[in-house]
């Protein structure tokens, strides 16, 4: 796999994993029963934990990228079937 293509695949997998993890464990101020300060949306997450979710997304993306690499590499060196 070309290194630039590999990096692009990893970035796409990271964003996908990150966006899938965003709602996990997020409680809004409304759900927590807390009063919102002026200018704060009541539906906004109380503690979003974005750093932790970004690290988890990096791990998930690395595993998925390794699986994709495992599938692509063996097929790179096989000869195409004859016509």
Output the six-digit token pair for 66.
Answer: 């390794």
Range with top average pLDDT, 11-15, 33-37, 38-42, 70-74:
11-15
Mean pLDDT (the chain, rounded): 87
- pLDDT for 78 beyond 80: no
- How many residues does this entry show for the chain? 83
Question: What percentage of the chain has pLDDT greater than the value 90?
Answer: 45
Q: Cα separation of 53 and 21, whole Å? A: 6
Model confidence at 30, pLDDT cuts 50, 70, 90, reads confident
Q: Give the pLDDT confidence score for residue 67 in this predicted structure.
A: 92
- pLDDT for 74 beyond 90: no
């Amino acid at each position: 796999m070309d290194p630039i293509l590999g990096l692009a695949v990893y970035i796409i997998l990271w964003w996908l994993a990150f966006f899938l993890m965003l709602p996990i464990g997020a409680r809004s101020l409304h759900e927590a029963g807390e009063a919102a300060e002026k200018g704060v949306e009541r539906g906004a997450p109380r503690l979003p934990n974005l750093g932790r979710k970004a690290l988890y997304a990096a791990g998930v993306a690395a595993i998925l990228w390794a699986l994709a690499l495992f599938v692509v590499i063996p097929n790179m060196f096989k000869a195409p079937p004859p016509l």
